[in-house]
């Protein structure tokens, strides 16, 4: 049958789909599929992977067909084929090709002794919650010291900050001869203290100031370490002036690091600061499927869907749930049903309103985080530095406890129902327009869960 030019029908179908679903959903499933060919009653669409082809078939085939048939007046049979699109090559694919070329030129280098070799761009799932940070990280790995220096990634635990940072380090280590140094704030402090004790400060300074790429995890732990902050300030300046790349991770924006000197805080804010948010459902599903690629165990899609829908906190929790299902399958040699999965993961899927979460725990965590007394949160002060934490406590109490608004108000200085509702709504509204506040809320939730459990 002659190959007919039905591409305009497909383009219009995609246009209408884009108008009827959210941007992140469209980007996840439709951004990389293309019209391939058509005959009189059939159309072939190219997809970049079996996974995307499978998901579109399950979730969107009926919607696609309905729109396409309506536009064209033809009862189309739609076929999906997996085919690499030469014009749409992901950054990850480019990196893979570069690695292949370099491996021809010389033997592959040994893994970096301090970096996790599993943390690479190839196995990092890029989605709506992390597109900007991921693309910035890839750009830095190609041109260290030239783009976005320093680069600081902030966000809650388990969202991929360390993965992205170490992926930068691994890529630079594997493709260049640059001196890559990775450490955590805790290890940096230990080295600093040991150097002071043994009068080896010149060696400490030389090690870090000779780095071509310096990666430091969890800089929030530099707070209240005045001596280390002073030393690191000078190291930062030396590396920055020499155009050496610096990458940091933190659990919050630098502006919220209350016990960090202003001059060091301003250095962290000098470059590019990006936040990673909790993954959407589509991203969570894709992450779980990606993890399964490295396993010999097959898990039904309905189980993946179950986990993705019930765990929205972070990637670490997703992986933990998946590994529990895999372990059960391997040990029992049984296929996991949906009912069994629910039973196995009932503790993980537990209601977010945990009975053992109390207003006192919320007050303590919020007070510590913002470095203000609990008495101020409960008191009458109306300065912004107190009102914001007070409203956050109210919001978290509504989210995480079974307390009524009257009970919450009683615990927050005897405030009435209307005041509690107003405070909670203020935070809910600001979360929509201020991504950094959403990151703060998620950080506090996790800290509360830690002391609760």
Q: Which residue has the higher pLDDT, 338 or 85?
A: 338
At residue 72, the pLDDT reads: 85
Of 20-24, 74-78, 88-92, the least confident: 88-92
* Local confidence band at 58 (pLDDT 50, 70, 90 cut-offs): confident
Of 57-61, 168-172, 177-181, 323-327, the least confident: 57-61
Residue 216, pLDDT > 70, answer yes
At residue 94, the pLDDT reads: 52
Q: How many angstroms separate the Cα of 167 from the Cα of each of 98, 123, 143?
A: 15, 10, 14
The stretch 311-330 carries a mean pLDDT of: 85
Mean pLDDT in the chain?
84
Q: What is the percent of the chain with per-residue pLDDT over 70, rounded to a whole number?
A: 90
Length of the chain: 453
CATH topology of domain 6-82: GMP Synthetase; Chain A, domain 3 (3.30.300)
At residue 396, the pLDDT reads: 92
At residue 106, the pLDDT reads: 46
Q: Which residue has the higher pLDDT, 449 or 261?
A: 261
Query: Do the Cβ atoms of 353 and 445 come closer than 8 Å?
Result: no
The stretch 158-173 carries a mean pLDDT of: 93
The stretch 288-296 carries a mean pLDDT of: 83
The 10s digit of each residue's pLDDT in 332-378 is 888 889 899 988 888 777 544 444 678 989 999 999 999 999 999 99
Distance separating alpha carbons of residues 59 and 285, to the nearest angstrom: 13
* Local confidence band at 89 (pLDDT 50, 70, 90 cut-offs): very low
Distance separating alpha carbons of residues 293 and 56, to the nearest angstrom: 19
At residue 178, the pLDDT reads: 95
Provide φ and ψ at 430, rounded to 5°.
-70, -30
The stretch 155-175 carries a mean pLDDT of: 91
Query: Tokens in use for 129?
Result: 């919650």
The stretch 75-80 carries a mean pLDDT of: 88
At residue 287, the pLDDT reads: 87
For domain 281-349, the CATH class is: mainly alpha
Residue 40, pLDDT > 90, answer no
Fold match between domain 6-82 and domain 359-451: no
Range among 99-113, 115-129, 178-192, 421-435 with highest mean pLDDT value: 178-192
Query: Do the Cβ atoms of 206 and 191 come closer than 8 Å?
Result: no
CATH topology of domain 359-451: Chromosomal Replication Initiator Protein Dnaa; Chain: A; (1.10.1750)
Angle at 242 (CA atoms; ends 239, 244), nearest 5 degrees: 55
At residue 98, the pLDDT reads: 56
Query: Do the Cβ atoms of 406 and 122 come closer than 8 Å?
Result: no
The stretch 418-424 carries a mean pLDDT of: 87
At residue 176, the pLDDT reads: 93
Domain ranges of the chain: 6-82, 121-275, 281-349, 359-451
Query: Tokens in use for 366?
Result: 């919020």
Residue 443, pLDDT > 80, answer yes
Q: What is the percent of the chain with per-residue pLDDT over 90, rounded to a whole number?
A: 35
Residue 449, pLDDT > 50, answer yes
CATH topology of domain 121-275: Rossmann fold (3.40.50)
At residue 240, the pLDDT reads: 94
Range among 155-164, 231-240, 266-275 with highest mean pLDDT value: 231-240
* Local confidence band at 144 (pLDDT 50, 70, 90 cut-offs): very high
* Local confidence band at 205 (pLDDT 50, 70, 90 cut-offs): very high
* Local confidence band at 230 (pLDDT 50, 70, 90 cut-offs): very high
At residue 31, the pLDDT reads: 80
At residue 3, the pLDDT reads: 58
Range among 87-101, 168-182, 253-267, 284-298 with highest mean pLDDT value: 168-182
């Amino acid at each position: 049958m002659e190959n007919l030019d039905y591409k305009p029908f497909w383009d219009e179908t995609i246009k209408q789909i884009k108008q009827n679903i959210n941007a992140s959903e469209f980007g996840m499933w439709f951004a990389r599929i293309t019209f391939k060919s058509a005959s009189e009653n059939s159309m072939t669409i190219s997809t970049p992977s079996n996974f995307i082809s499978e998901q579109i078939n399950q979730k969107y085939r009926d919607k696609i067909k309905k729109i396409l048939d309506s536009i064209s007046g033809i009862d189309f049979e739609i076929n999906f084929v997996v085919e690499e699109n030469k014009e749409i090559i992901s950054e990850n694919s480019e990196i893979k090709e570069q690695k292949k070329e370099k491996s021809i030129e010389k033997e592959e280098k040994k893994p970096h002794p301090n970096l996790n070799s599993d943390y690479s761009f190839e196995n990092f799932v890029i989605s709506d919650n992390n597109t900007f940070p991921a693309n910035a990280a890839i750009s830095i790995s190609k041109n260290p010291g030239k783009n976005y220096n320093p680069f600081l990634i902030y966000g809650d635990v388990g969202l991929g900050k360390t993965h992205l940072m170490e992926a930068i380090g691994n890529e630079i280590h594997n493709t260049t001869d640059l001196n890559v140094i990775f450490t955590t704030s805790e290890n940096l402090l230990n080295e600093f203290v040991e150097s002071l004790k043994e009068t080896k400060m010149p060696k400490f300074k030389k090690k870090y100031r000779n780095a071509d790429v310096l990666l430091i995890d969890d800089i929030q732990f530099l707070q209240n370490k005045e001596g280390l902050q002073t030393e690191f300030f000078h190291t930062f300046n030396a590396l920055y002036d020499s155009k050496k790349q610096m990458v940091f991770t933190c659990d919050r924006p630098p502006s919220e690091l209350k016990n960090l000197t202003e001059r060091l805080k301003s250095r962290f804010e000098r470059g590019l600061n990006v936040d990673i948010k909790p993954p959407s459902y589509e991203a969570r599903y894709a992450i779980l499927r990606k993890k399964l690629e490295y396993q010999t165990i097959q898990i039904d899609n309905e189980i993946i869907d179950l986990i993705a829908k019930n765990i929205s906190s972070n990637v670490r929790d997703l992986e933990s749930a998946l590994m529990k299902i895999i372990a059960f399958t391997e040990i029992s040699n049984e296929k996991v049903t949906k009912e069994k999965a629910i039973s196995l993961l009932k503790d993980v899927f537990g209601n977010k309103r945990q009975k053992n979460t109390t207003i006192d725990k919320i007050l303590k965590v919020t007070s510590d985080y913002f470095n203000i007394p609990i008495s101020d949160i409960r008191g009458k002060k109306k300065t912004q530095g107190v009102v914001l934490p007070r409203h956050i406590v109210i919001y978290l109490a509504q989210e995480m406890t079974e307390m009524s608004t009257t009970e919450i108000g009683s615990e927050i200085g005897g405030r009435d129902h209307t005041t509690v509702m107003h405070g909670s709504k203020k935070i809910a509204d600001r979360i929509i327009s201020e991504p950094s506040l959403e990151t703060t809320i998620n950080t506090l939730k996790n800290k509360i869960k830690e002391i609760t459990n």
